[in-house]
Amino acid sequence: MTQPTFDPSSIESILHEERHFNPPSDFVDRMGSVYVSSLSDYEKIYNRSISDPQAFWTEIAEQLHWYRPWDRVLEWSPPDAKWFVGGQTNICDNCVDRQVRNGHGDETAIIWEGEPVDNGGPEIRRLTYADLQRETARLGNALKKLGVRKGDVVTIYMGMVPELAIAMLACARIGAAHSVIFGGFSSQAIADRVTDADSRVIITGDGAWRRGKIVPLKDNVDQACETLAAGNRDVDAVVVLKRCENAINWQDGRDHWYHELTAAADEDCPPEAMDSEDVLFLLYTSGSTGKPKGIVHTTGGYMVFTYITARYVFNLHPGRDQVYWCTADCGWVTGHSYIVYGVLPNRVPSLMYEGAPNFPAEDRFWDIVERHRVTQFYTAPTAIRAFMKWGAEHAEKHDLSSLKVLGTVGEPINPEAWMWYHRVIGGERCPIVDTWWQTETGGHMITPLPGATPTTPGSCTLPFFGIDAAVVNEKGEEQPANTGGLLVIRKPWPGMLRGIHGDRERFLETYWRRVENMYCAGDGAKRDEHGYFWIMGRIDDVINVSGHRLGTMEVESALVSHPAVVEAAVVGVPHEIKGTGIAAFVTLESHAEPSADLREQLRDHVAREIGAIAKPDQIRLTDALPKTRSGKIMRRLLRDVAAGTDTEQDVTTLEDLTVLAKLRESEEE
Ligand code: WTA
């Protein structure tokens, strides 16, 4: 496997952003208390965290509960890190039981709001730490009864209901690793992930509510089980939560109702003492080649890192009437780290919302903020762009004065969207934390601290404590200010991935071979004259659609698996709401007739193979794809064709120049 060639100087910054915003002068008053309240404090702590990481991380880790203290903070043999070596802990204990032990059992841990709204308003549930303790214990015991043992992988495929968080925590409680699959993925995606993880138990629901419709979760799992059976793989048990009461098929012996299992289960299930480096979860994410990769995170380091980043970046303070809301789905890393694992140990209620932002109307999010007096709000640029399009009037109908900190994650935020967020949602009084991080990093890596860091629209500003981020060339030399390069992390950090499940070679190749002994994030970036980081997007064949990473290769494989398709090339194309949309260039078998109907079929086919998020926005049917003499598809040309811009690029290596002209004519609709 070869790395795509990349010339760092080819990334040029076109943004010249001059607007700066200091943390509001009344921020400390409004918050009551702020962990880091000036840039010089940030610098002092940062310098110490880099010069003496052991002391820094020891102090943080000691704030959590360990059954056995660690012998060494870090063992680093690049690219393998072990954190809190020899220590034993349990993250469910730290999220839940520890709060109960400290006398906070009656406080709210999770506030949940369902999507459907009737005359009495939406359904709202509040779960206390004591509720979570009881429910994770019951489900933990139920899973053990189904044969789940420490180290097994449990697959979770559910809607955004409290039981999703409970299922994750229950696995952690008994020492099973979970693999959460986003509820929007298809049955094929489930089958692939279950196979890769060798998972034998699936927790799902009958259905999930999404924009007033029911997503047939159980049907998708049934289909996945059929696919698995055809490949001689058995799923031992499917646990089904009743939510939508839609009709489902039932396989006796394999299928179990969640409510029946948990009602019959004992409430006594002490959290398992886990080794700091025991696996906590796998989370599948797209790469530039082949199938999704199962990113491996372990227990102790991930726990410490998500706890402290959530605390400082959102300024979470227990006992001060804060309500924190992250709008992500738990199926993505943002939901893992900043709905569940980083937030609960901070003892601030975490709000979960089940459904779509525009159901029943475009003001749903602001309605929720007003109803629950949300103080910290964390969402994605793609959502902000949708809100802008729907209009400020939806937000203006609501009292958003409770908001104190706003956050964004998932892709670079364009300055107009930043300013809109600042003005319309934040009322010009809330710092915005633009957090850069990845599934692989476990938690925030480059981000403002709300009381300390002056912000500039479009920049994720400065590294978090302990994070040695840099922009370098392929030799690992730091680039001068305002020059594009590779974003790398030069020192290990507690939340870093420990590998790709079952694929050591891919782990080395993807992250560690490009620049020696540095973690290469796969993003291009620059630092400006103030040392602020600006992310310029992916350098590989991964496209970021609505803040979700998709490998172009995955979408191509899905297209080629359709009988009418010979060859396909997929590229990103600018899209008003999604940031990047998907354009697919497809050559057909000679028997296939090009038609609008076939295009629609291909779109649906991709949705079935991967999920609706991967549906191409444009499909162009063409006789041939532009290739180099060595047969490589020339994607940069396709990108221009898809975006409708004229090609000023060098085409001397094009095998067949007429192909390009034909592609332009293939313009859809
Ligand atoms: C992109 C999501 C610019 C980036 C937590 C990264 C961002 C990928 C930002 C990871 C940001 C994430 N500014 N780009 N604040 N946050 N990205 O694994 O390309 O789903 O590599 O993790 O999203 O996506 P992932």
Sign of the Cα pseudo-torsion (583, 589, 592, 593, in order): positive
Determine which helix (DSSP H) or strand (DSSP E) holds 174, and give its type and residue range: helix 162-174
Distance between CA atoms of residues 87 and 90, nearest Å: 10
| Closest residue CA from atom 8 of ligand 1 | 438
Structure tokens at 439: 């599934």
pLDDT tens for residues 389-447? 999 999 999 999 999 999 999 998 988 999 999 999 999 999 999 999 999 999 999 99
Q: Please check whether residue 295 is in contact with residue 549, taking contact to mean a CB–CB distance below 8 angstroms.
A: no
- pLDDT tens per residue across span 487-542: 999 999 999 999 999 999 999 999 999 999 999 999 999 999 999 999 988 888 88
Share of the chain above pLDDT 70, in %: 93
Q: How far apart are CA 55 and CA 49, in angstroms?
A: 8
Ligand 1 in reach of 285 Cβ (< 6 A): yes
Q: Is the CB of 535 inside a 6 Å radius of any atom of ligand 1?
A: yes
Dihedral angle, C-alpha 313, 319, 325, 330, nearest 10 °: 90
Residues in the chain: 669
- Domains, the chain, ordered by start: 128-280 (3.40.50.980), 542-664 (3.30.300.30)
Over residues 291-307, mean pLDDT: 96
Query: Is 437 close to ligand 1, i.e. is its CB under 6 Å away?
Result: yes
- Mean pLDDT check: name the lowest of 518-532, 545-559, 607-621: 545-559
pLDDT at 635 (0 to 100) = 81
pLDDT 10s digits, 87-138: 999 999 999 999 999 999 999 999 999 999 999 999 999 999 999 999 999 9
Q: How far is the centre of ligand 1, averaged over its atoms, from the C-alpha of 537 (Å)?
A: 9
Distance CA 341, CA 335 (A): 9
Amino acid identity for residue 649 in this structure: Q
Q: Residue 144 and residue 161: Cα distance in Å, rounded?
A: 22
If you average pLDDT over every residue of the chain, what do you get? 93
> Taking the mean position of all CA atoms in its chain, how far away is CA 255?
29
Contact between 360 and 526 under an 8 Å Cβ cutoff? The reply is: no
Q: Tokens representing 223?
A: 């289909």
Task: Walk across the sheet containing 579-588 and list its strands.
Answer: 565-575, 579-588, 618-621
Report the candidate in 174, 240, 244 with the shortest Cα–Cα distance to residue 214. 244
Alpha helices in 338-475 (DSSP H): 364-372, 381-390, 393-396, 415-420
First-last CA distance in the chain: 37
Burial class of residue 582 (count of CB atoms within 10 Å of its CB; 0-12, 13-18, 19+)? buried
- Local confidence band at 469 (pLDDT 50, 70, 90 cut-offs): very high
pTM (predicted TM-score): 0.92
Residue 183 CA to ligand 1 centre (angstroms)? 20
Query: DSSP class of residue 441?
Result: G
- The angle subtended at Cα 121 by Cα 120 and Cα 126, nearest 5°, is 105
Cα(521) to centroid(ligand 1), Å:
10
Q: Is the CB of 580 under 6 A from ligand 1?
A: no
| Ligand 1: nearest atom to the Cα of 413 | 13
Ligand 1: distance of its center to the CA of 249 in Å?
A: 38
Once rounded to an integer, what is the mean pLDDT over residues 262-275?
98
Sign for the pseudo-dihedral over CA of 113, 116, 117, 121:
negative
Q: Which amino acid is at 273?
A: A
Confidence of residue 217 (pLDDT cuts 50, 70, 90): very high
> Would you call 164 helix, strand, or coil by DSSP?
helix
Q: Is the peptide bond before 122 cis (omega within 30 degrees of 0)?
A: no
What is the DSSP pairing of strand 72-77 with strand 177-180?
unpaired
Residue appearing with tokens 């490949």: 231
Angle, nearest 10°, between helix axes 53-61 and 39-51? Answer: 110
Please state which of the ranges 312-316, 441-445, 626-630 shows the lowest mean pLDDT: 626-630
The residues that bridge with 537 in the sheet, in sequence order, are: 524
pLDDT of 540 reads: 83
Please name the residues in contact with 544: beta carbons below 8 A apart, sequence gap of 6 or more: 410, 411, 537, 538, 550, 572, 579, 580
Rounded to an integer, the average pLDDT of 42-54 is 98
Helices (H), 513-634: 552-560, 596-609
Ligand 1, atom nearest to 460 Cα: 15
Q: What is the pLDDT of residue 77?
A: 97
Residue 540 in contact with ligand 1 by CB distance below 6 A: no
Question: Ligand 1: distance of its center to the CA of 51 in Å?
Answer: 27
Strand ranges (E), 42-105: 66-68, 72-77, 80-85, 88-89
